[in-house]
Amino acid sequence: MKKVQFSRPLFPYLLLIPQLSIIAVFFYWPAAEAIRSSFFLEDPFGFGSTFVGLDNYRDAVTSSEYVNVATFTVWFTALVAFLSLSLSLLLAIKADAVLKGAKTYRVLLMWVYAIAPPVAGLMGILLFDQSLGPFTHLMALFGHDFKLGVNYYDTTTAIVIVSVWKQIPINFIFFLAGLQSIPRSVREAALIDNPSGISRFFTVTLPLLAPTAFFLLIINITYALFDTFGIFDIMFKGEPGNNPTTLVYKVFLDGFRGNDLGGSSAQSVILMILVLGLTVVQFRMMERRVHYT
Amino acid sequence: MTDVQISSASTATARRPRKIKWRAVGDHAILIAGALFMLLPVMLTLTTSSYDNVTIHKEGIQWFFGDQLAENYNRAMFEKGGFTQTVDGFKMLMNSLILGIGFAVGKIVIAMMAAYAIVYFRFRFGTIAFWMIFTTLLLPLEVRILPSYEVVQSLGMLNTYAGLIIPLIASATGTFYFRQFFRAVPEELLEAARIDGAGPVKFFIDILVPLSRTMIAAMFIIMFVYGWNQYLWPTLMTTDESMFTLVRGIKQIMQVWIGANIPDYGVAMSLAIIAMTPPVAIVIFFQNWFVKGLTESDK
């Protein structure tokens, strides 16, 4: 906070009224509602609800379907984060190294940021389509009959590729900015001490990039958990069937299609706690970064 | 003799840069492969969108442009589609613009006011207000989607622009960025302004807003793209087809697609291209502001 401040009794409240009222109505009220209804069993026909304590949580966590979806979500998140982080790190290092055309490459590698996940999903359907898709034809050359939306693993492969594709730009932008902020003097000193490119990368560049990489890891986890919703929803054409789903998708399915209000809310609350944990870790990292700079 | 000397000298000087060049060639090859990987899906969608449905259905994805480009885009923009036959691409484009601009402007105005109050004023419930606002950073809309829907429903805001935009604003990312930015503004400015007799409103409008211009521009680009690309919330919120945004309309295309004998590929791909063009153009056109806003505000 500033040392010099205005002290008007009413003015700051006037400034805060719009933000606070929106938050109260559209954040605190729904969040409280989610927590409340997670302890109740709602009658499907709307005739009241009964308090069931932690039953919704127990039912959610112990159901084999939930365990499957959770396991898939963990694998999916890890795969998407690992692939998109490593690919974009490679591209950022190369874009930082070339002397000519660096700016052109930056544009070419970041513009996909602006494409919405469902639009990416629609393009994914075309590329992986059973009859149209070039990727399907490519797989056929290797003797594999690629079936999007039918074969569980094929669908997963397609969704992972589209999700990674969509996430490369933002990782690339941050990695490149991180690389470019490494001072020239440090690079030159490292070059004199250690002429081998690969070992210099692991001993000098990577440790200096670690805060960026960690920040991006959290961003990527949140992306894989929440923002891929549109990709999933479009890629199995709104018919989940026996296709892979994530935890967030299941909250949506149970709440809006299955009308299981209590169960959906309990799953929401579990996700809230998960995100809360992630954000706390992220804040601590941000504080640390601010201290160093 | 001299000839030999010159040629040997020139090979000696030519050999050293060549060693470095091979490495550069490898770097460029990786970068070009990466750029193609990003470009190719969009390129194929664009080229295929210039064919008629029967050709696409028979021959699959097309690698070169056909002759139906204008025809398909014209149909995507102006032919009424959907189940009720009331919405065309142009209407969805307008709705997307309203959502993108409304969200960006609303968020920036509200965030700047709140951040100004938090950074520049000493008042009784300041700390509580600060924590109330920043707790919202912890929970994205997706985890409280069902109760949010019910709240909006009970307020009678389904199928309205307000119901579409305002709940999306209920997160403090913008406030957080502007708070960081205001804190970095030198203290002397406020002292000087106070000596000159400027009140809080004058200081805000005449000094702080002009100072934040770059930050506002960067925020606008990021928030516009974010708003334009919203999918889950508009999908739940809008059942009336005249309220659909382009990104929301993609789902509708898919649902019509499933039942069709030969799906309307041409129009679907044209709509996908139309849906991505404005945000992509903004990001490319204002890339410096965009990158600066993105990388500096998140620190």
Q: Is the pLDDT of residue B220 over 90?
A: yes
pLDDT band at B82 (very low <50, low <70, confident <90, very high): low
Q: Compute the residue count for chain A.
A: 293
**For position B3, what pLDDT does the model report?**
46
Residue B13 lies in a domain: no
Residue in A3, A23, A239 to test binding to B, most B beta-carbons within 10 Å: A23
Residue B60 and residue A19: Cβ atoms within 8 Å? no
What are the structure tokens assigned to A277, written together? 């944990």
* pLDDT value at A196 more than 90: no
Full residue range of the structural domain in which residue B245 is found: 89-297
B135 to each of A24, B132, B230, B241, how far by Cα in Å?
12, 6, 22, 35
Q: What is the mean pLDDT of residues B110-135?
A: 87
CB contact under 8 A, A122 and B28: no
Question: What pLDDT is recorded for position A35?
Answer: 87
The topology under which CATH files domain A55-288 is MetI-like fold (1.10.3720)
Whether B122 shows a pLDDT value over 90: the answer reads no
Q: Which residue of A has its CA nearest to B275?
A: A119
Assigned token pair, B131 = 């924590």
* A191: contact with B, CB 8 A cutoff: no
Residues B162 and B264 in one domain: yes
**Residues of chain B with pLDDT > 90: what percent?**
31
- Residues 6 or more apart in contact with residue B48 via CB below 8 angstroms: A126, B56, B61, B62, B265, B266, B269
Among the partner-chain residues B44, B139, B235, the one whose CB lies closest to the CB of A31 is B139
Residue A131 and residue A139: Cα distance in Å, rounded?
12
Does residue B34 share a domain with residue B124? no
**pLDDT at residue A46, rounded to an integer:** 61
pLDDT above 80 for B296: no
Amino acid of residue B127 = T
Looking at every residue in chain A, the average pLDDT score rounds to 85
User: How far apart, in whole angstroms, are the C-alpha atoms of residue A188 and residue A194?
Assistant: 10
Q: Residue B144: which CATH number?
A: 1.10.3720.10
Say which of A108, A114, A122 has its CB closest to residue B268.
Answer: A122
**Contact at CB, B169 and A22, closer than 8 angstroms:** yes
User: In this prediction, what percent of chain B has a pLDDT beyond 70?
Assistant: 88
Residue A90 contacts residue B30 (beta carbons within 8 Å): yes
Nearest of A188, A184, A190 to residue A207 by alpha carbon: A190
**A175–chain B nearest CA distance, Å:** 10
**CA-nearest residue of chain B to A250?**
B143
Task: Say whether pLDDT at B280 is over 80.
Answer: yes
Q: What is the pLDDT of residues A88-140, one digit of tens each?
A: 999 999 998 887 888 899 999 999 999 999 999 999 988 888 778 888 888 88
Quick one: pLDDT at residue A211?
82
Instruction: Name the helix (H) or strand (E) containing A51.
Output: strand A49-51
A219 confidence band (pLDDT: 50, 70, 90)? confident
User: Per-residue pLDDT averaged across B167-176, rounded?
Assistant: 86
Answer whether A110's CB lies under 8 Å from B283's CB. yes
Phi–psi pair at A49, nearest 5 degrees? -150, 155
User: Measured between alpha carbons, how far apart are the two ends of chain A, in Å?
Assistant: 18
List, in order, residues 6 or more apart from B73 with CB less than 8 Å away.
Answer: B49, B270, B273, B274
Task: Say if CB B33 and CB B26 are below 8 A apart.
Answer: no
Better pLDDT: A191 or B107: B107
Judged on CB neighbours under 10 Å (0-12, 13-18, 19+), A193 is exposed
- Checking if the pLDDT of B189 tops 50, the result is yes
CB contact A132 to B (< 8 Å):
yes
Residue whose tokens read 């933000």: A19
pLDDT, residue B46, reads 92
Q: What is the mean pLDDT of residues B169-180?
A: 86
Rg (CA), chain B: 27
Across the range A57-65, mean pLDDT stands at 84
Q: Does B17 score more than 60 pLDDT?
A: no
Domain annotation covers residue B9: no
As for how many domains chain B has, the answer is 2
Residue B212 lies in a domain: yes
What's the alpha-carbon Rg for chain A, to the nearest Å? 24
Residue B9's pLDDT is: 45
Chain A residue with minimal CA distance to B179?
A1
DSSP per residue over A172-183, as a string?
Answer: HHHHHHHHHTS-
Both B204 and B182 in a single domain? yes
Examine the domain organization and report whether B145 and B62 are in the same domain.
no
Q: Is the CB of residue B146 less than 8 Å from the CB of residue A269?
A: no
| B87, β-bridge pairs | B81
- Cβ neighbours of B279 in A, within 8 Å: 114-116
Which 8-state DSSP code applies to residue B137? G
Provide the β-strand partners of residue A49. Answer: A42
Question: Does the beta carbon of A195 lie under 8 angstroms from any beta carbon of chain B?
Answer: no
Q: A40 by DSSP, 3-state: which?
A: strand
pLDDT for residue B276 is more than 90: yes
Better pLDDT: A11 or B280: B280
pLDDT at B297: 60
Checking if the pLDDT of A224 tops 70, the result is: yes
Cross-chain Cβ contact B113/A18 below 8 Å: yes
Last residue of a domain, one of B58, B78, B98: B78
Q: Are residues B70 and B176 in the same domain?
A: no
Confidence category of residue B96, pLDDT binned at 50, 70, 90: very high
Q: What pLDDT does A289 receive?
A: 53
The pLDDT of residue B5: 46
Q: Does A248 touch chain B (CB under 8 A)?
A: yes
Query: What average pLDDT score do residues B125-137 get?
Result: 84
In whole angstroms, what is the distance from residue A136 CA to residue A161 CA? 14
Nearest to B131 by CA among A20, A101, A64: A20
Provide the pLDDT confidence category of residue B11 given band limits of 50, 70 and 90.
very low
Domain-located, residue B113: yes
Distance, in Å, from the CA atom of A105 to the CA atom of A97, rounded to the nearest integer, reads 12
Q: For the segment B37-51, what is each residue's pLDDT rounded down to a tens digit?
A: 999 999 999 998 888
Q: Which has the minimum average pLDDT: B10-14, B159-163, B213-217?
A: B10-14
pLDDT band at B84 (very low <50, low <70, confident <90, very high): low
Of residues B171 and B162, the one with the higher pLDDT is B162
Question: In three state form, how does the secondary structure of B160-175 look?
Answer: CHHHHHHHHHCCCHHH
Residues B60 and B180 in one domain: no
**For testing contact with chain B, the best of A112, A115, A181, A201 (most B CBs within 10 A):** A115
Indicate whether B162 and B278 sit together in one domain. yes
Same domain, yes or no: B66 and B201: no
Q: Indicate if B63 and B133 belong to the same structural domain.
A: no
Which residues in chain A are contacts of B31 at CB distance < 8 A?
91, 94-95, 98, 101, 105, 109
Q: Which two tokens stand for residue B233?
A: 């919330």
Q: Is A91 helix (H, G, I), strand (E, B) or coil?
A: helix
* Euclidean distance between CA atoms B273 and B269, whole angstroms: 6
Of residues A175 and B2, the one with the higher pLDDT is A175
Res A85: pLDDT: 95
Residues B163 and B291 in one domain: yes
Q: What is the per-residue pLDDT for A141?
A: 85
What is the average per-residue pLDDT within B264-288? 90
Please determine, for residue B204, whether its predicted confidence score (pLDDT) is greater than 70. yes
For chain B, the average pLDDT equals 84
Tell me, yes or no, whether B93 and B149 share the same domain: yes
Q: Is residue B42 situated within a structural domain?
A: yes
Return the percent helix, strand and coil in chain A, to nearest 5: 75, 0, 20
Give pTM, 2 decimals: 0.88
Same domain, B147 and B196: yes
